[in-house]
Amino acid sequence: MQKTTIFFLLISFCSFSQSNHLSLAPNEFDKAIKLANPLHLIDLRTKGEFEAGHIKKAIHIDYLRADFEDYIKSVYSKKTPLILYCQSGKNSVDAASYLAELGYENITILKGGFEKWISNSKPYTSSKKTFEPLGFISNDNYYTLIRNNKWVLVDFYADWCGPCKKMAPILFKIDQENKELNLLKIDADKNTSMTENLEVSEIPTMILYKNGKQVWRHTGLISEAEIKSKIY
């Protein structure tokens, strides 16, 4: 009986040690925010992402800032319960591990990040004078669309990109003329995790899928005829 108890305690300790934070889905994360008193909700994203839209009462501390460690230590004690979120969830996991190494003991993160928060229709606010609804596409939605259609042409663009504006009517025309083709336009500025996952470093970038598999990829301006030649 004693050996069994010791073994159980050892397993429990190992399971706890492997996790240095609590990861919560949007609904549970929302409850954690409301129950926290005082609330230390930290947005780890870039300044631009924070200003475009963030969870109410969040404090902006860019995880990639050079003095992140020194700043966190100067503001929060190691006993302070910290609630973190980023864009897609990855940086939150990294930050939680890093903070745990520094000695912080109570860390909660948003599973799936701000994109998951938005996709679950959770409320958010903006620092901009004119509030613009954010539109994110999740990885699940992206790959579901690709799997369920014979041809999918993905266009990564940005509103400020001149070449993107030149390509827009060309891609629209190709989409209208091909009934089997689905054109998926993704704002690179609003879907940073998607651009990272697909290694899109320049815009416009176009990716063509056939029956769920990538068959072509191009960055920059390209003629209508060249794109059509890839759809066979």
Give 66-115 pLDDT, tens digit per residue: 999 999 999 999 999 999 999 989 999 999 999 999 999 999 999 999 98
- Residue 161 known to be catalytic: yes
**Which helix (H) or strand (E) is 183 found in, with range?**
strand 181-187
Q: What angle do CA 53, 56, 61 make, to 5 degrees?
A: 70
CB atoms within 10 A of CB 184: 18
Query: With a threshold of 0.75, does the pTM exceed it?
Result: no
Q: Cα separations (Å) of 157 from 133, 152, 168, 175, 220? A: 18, 16, 9, 16, 10
Which residues, listed in sequence order, are joined to residue 213 by a DSSP beta bridge?
210
Which listed residue (55, 118, 146, 164) is catalytic? 164
In contact, 137 and 186? CB cutoff 8 Å: yes
Cis peptide before 169 (omega within 30 of 0): no
CATH no. for 2-119: 3.40.250.10
Please tell me if the domain spanning 2-119 has the same topology as the one spanning 139-228.
no
Which listed residue (32, 93, 145, 161) is catalytic? 161
Which residues, listed in sequence order, are joined to residue 108 by a DSSP beta bridge?
22, 83
- Residue 14 known to be catalytic: no
| Domain definitions of the chain by residue range | 2-119, 139-228
In 51-175, the DSSP E strands lie at: 59-60, 82-85, 107-110, 151-157
What are the average pLDDT values for consecutive 10-residue runs of the chain, which has 232 residues?
Answer: 37 44 96 96 92 92 95 96 94 96 96 88 77 68 84 93 95 90 88 87 96 96 95 85
CATH class of 139-228: alpha beta
